[in-house]
């Protein structure tokens, strides 16, 4: 039996200059999820982030957007998880994924960081990689030397639209994950293709 989801994390960098950059795809997802469920996010210095809570029926979900900058995301996630006694497998982390094209998103349980500094830090601070991930495709510049500029750049409008479509579908899938299970959520999300 799967344990219920208790924490949704969106990864990104704080500050207006990063708002529309590819690296903030995790923030975009949490923004969308919070709008959908009327969850208000407020600064919580104890957890170094913007925190919200969604309660419905048996669901009691915390939501956080760490405000620590990407490579220290684990500080925020671990502080909140430890405080509320949330186990790693009850955490879903949404983030930008270079290895998937825009218009594609995939769930993944555990595994490596794929070089993503936010995931790397969460793994280090939690002491385990056994948390759920929601990988939001942003594409790859084709050259490792260009990755930093690429993730900190803004996608062109057509790509942004495909990413947004994926985020809408991902929010549907997170709802299914909460109401049913990971397999049902994966079936829904992994069959989605942006038509843009």
Q: What is the per-residue pLDDT across 128-158, written as a single tens digit (0 to 9) for each?
A: 999 999 999 999 999 989 999 999 999 999 9
Active site residue 116: no
User: What is the domain partition of the chain in residue ranges?
Assistant: 7-190
The 10s digit of each residue's pLDDT in 38-67 is: 999 999 999 999 999 999 888 899 999 999
Among 3.40.630.30, 3.40.640.10, 2.60.40.10, 3.40.50.1470, what is the CATH number of 7-190? 3.40.50.1470
| Whole-number Cα distances in Å, 78 to 8, 87, 149 | 13, 10, 28
- Is residue 84 a known part of a binding site? no
- Is residue 71 a known part of a binding site? yes
Helix or strand or coil: residue 155? coil
Which of 91, 97, 61 shows the shortest CA–CA distance to 76? 91
- Is residue 24 a known part of a binding site? no
Residues above pLDDT 90, as percent of the chain: 90
Q: How confident is the model at residue 196 (pLDDT cuts 50, 70, 90)?
A: low
Long-range contacts of 171-177 (CB under 8 A, 24+ apart): 171/29, 171/32, 171/33, 171/36, 173/105, 173/107, 173/134, 174/5, 174/8, 174/33, 174/92, 174/134, 177/5, 177/92, 177/107
- Is residue 69 a known part of a binding site? yes
Q: What is residue 93's predicted lDDT score, i.e. its pLDDT? A: 98
Q: Which of 23, 37, 123, 140 is catalytic?
A: 23
**CB atoms < 10 A from the CB of 148, how many?**
11
Residue 1 clears pLDDT 70, i.e. is over it: no
Residue 124 clears pLDDT 80, i.e. is over it: yes
Cβ contact 110:129 at 8 Å? yes
Higher per-residue pLDDT: 13 or 3: 13
What is the mean predicted confidence (pLDDT) over 153-171? 95
Which of 177, 195, 124 shows the shortest CA–CA distance to 4? 177
């Amino acid at each position: 039996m799967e344990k219920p989801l208790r924490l949704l994390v969106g990864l990104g960098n704080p500050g207006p200059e990063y708002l529309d950059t590819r690296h903030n795809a995790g923030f975009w997802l949490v923004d969308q999820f919070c709008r959908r469920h009327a969850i208000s996010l407020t600064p919580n210095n104890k957890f170094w982030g913007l925190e919200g809570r969604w309660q419905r029926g048996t669901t009691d979900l915390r939501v956080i957007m760490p405000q620590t900058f990407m490579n220290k995301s684990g500080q925020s996630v671990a502080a909140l998880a430890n405080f509320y006694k949330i186990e790693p497998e009850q955490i879903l982390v949404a983030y930008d994924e270079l290895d998937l094209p825009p218009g594609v998103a995939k769930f993944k349980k555990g595994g490596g960081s794929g070089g993503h500094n936010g995931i790397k830090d969460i793994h280090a601070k939690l002491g385990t990689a056994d948390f759920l991930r929601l990988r939001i495709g942003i594409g790859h510049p084709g050259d490792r030397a260009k990755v930093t500029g690429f993730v900190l750049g803004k996608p062109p409008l057509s790509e942004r639209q495909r990413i947004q479509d994926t985020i809408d579908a991902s929010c549907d899938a997170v709802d299914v994950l909460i109401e049913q299970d990971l397999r049902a959520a994966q079936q829904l999300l992994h069959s989605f293709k942006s038509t843009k």
